[in-house]
């Protein structure tokens, strides 16, 4: 009797999960399948779950309508540099806040955290004026410097600080007795043990940089310098109408690295969240 009920309950539960899955999976499914359809078939009702005659030429046209390969590279190298720089800065800053007692440490950390409270829409105009004075508008410098010294880095510092606080003090005391100084303790003891937190920070930072939209549309005006989120909005025909199928093909290609990174690193992602005490 119990096992029967259990099987019935399982079927009901899985059925419910499948229903709940639809709003999450359908947009991605629709994006991929519509990238293979002619424009006229994309908005038919009821929606076609599968393209009648898949047209793979949209993926070729993605690269001919715009310098998509160049834009892909722009997004990739900016995300890589931002991730590397954020990891370096946030790990050191997080360790300092966690382990070094200096006057005003708590107050300084609160000041740093307030950076999370200010939306980027509020600071974008003064930042534009600043970079304009520096002659860095229509370059990639703002897209690198703003995340590295802005809210994403603040969040990363918070994550790393929480991780280092949880690291047993005795490990570092043992290292002090063994003869290590502060820098070596950080490099040889704390950092190797921080891999889960570092992986989590890397994923967050990469995703944030990859998906950045406001800063590119404000600072960049040359198509060959565009990043992918900005480039996606440029797939229009001669009359200004969107070329949906090609745009969705470009969107599919844009989402691919994100999916791959998450699938490969989801274990570290969850571990990193757990280490910070943040319940996702």
CB of 206 to another protein, least distance (A): 24
CA distance 275 to 140: 33
CB of 170 to another protein, least distance (A): 4
Q: Is 222 left (phi over 0), alpha (psi -120 to 50) or beta?
A: beta
3-state secondary structure of 36: coil
Count of residues of this chain found to bind another protein when the rule CB under 8 A is applied: 15
Q: Which of residues 190-209 bind another protein (CB under 8 A)?
A: 192-193
Q: Between residues 148 and 175, which has the closer beta carbon with respect to another protein? A: 175
Q: Between residues 62 and 190, which has the closer beta carbon with respect to another protein? A: 190
Q: Between residues 62 and 194, which has the closer beta carbon with respect to another protein? A: 194
For residue 70, what are its two tokens?
A: 């160049």
CA distance 199 to 137: 32
Q: Which of residues 151-180 bind another protein (CB under 8 A)?
A: 168, 170-171, 173-180
Query: Which one among 9, 60, 184, 267 touches another protein, defined by CB under 8 A?
Result: 184
Q: Which of residues 70-109 bind another protein (CB under 8 A)?
A: none
Can you give 147-184 as a three-state secondary structure string?
HHHCHHHHHHHHHHHHHHHHCCHHHHHHHHHCCCCHHH
Q: Are 75 and 228 in contact (CB under 8 A)?
A: yes
Site residues (vs another protein, CB under 8 A): 168, 170-171, 173-180, 184, 189, 192-193
């Amino acid at each position: 009797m119990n096992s029967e009920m259990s099987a019935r309950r399982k079927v009901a539960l899985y059925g419910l999960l499948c229903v709940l899955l639809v709003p999450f999976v359908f947009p991605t499914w629709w994006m991929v399948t519509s990238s293979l359809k002619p424009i006229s078939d994309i908005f038919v009702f009821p929606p076609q779950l599968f393209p009648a005659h898949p047209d793979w030429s949209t993926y070729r046209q993605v690269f001919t309508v715009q310098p998509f390969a160049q834009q892909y590279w722009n997004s990739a190298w900016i995300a890589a540099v931002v991730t590397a720089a954020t990891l370096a800065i946030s790990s050191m800053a997080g360790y300092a806040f966690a382990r070094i007692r200096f006057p005003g440490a708590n107050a300084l950390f609160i000041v740093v955290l307030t950076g999370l409270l200010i939306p980027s829409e509020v600071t974008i105009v003064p930042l534009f004026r600043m970079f304009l004075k520096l002659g860095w508008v229509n370059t990639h410098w703002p897209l690198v410097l703003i995340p590295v010294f802005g809210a994403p880095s603040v969040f990363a510092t918070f994550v790393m600080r929480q991780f280092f606080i949880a690291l047993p003090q005795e490990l570092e005391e043992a290292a002090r007795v063994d003869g290590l100084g502060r820098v070596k303790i950080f490099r040889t003891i704390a950092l190797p043990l921080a891999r889960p937190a570092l992986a989590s920070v890397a994923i967050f930072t990469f995703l944030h940089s990859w998906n950045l939209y406001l800063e590119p549309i404000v600072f960049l005006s040359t198509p060959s310098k565009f990043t992918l989120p900005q480039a996606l909005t440029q797939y229009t025909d001669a009359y200004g109408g969107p070329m949906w199928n090609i745009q969705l093909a470009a969107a599919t290609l844009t989402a691919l690295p994100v999916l791959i990174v998450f699938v490969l690193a989801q274990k570290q992602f969850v571990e990193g969240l757990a280490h910070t005490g943040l319940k996702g």
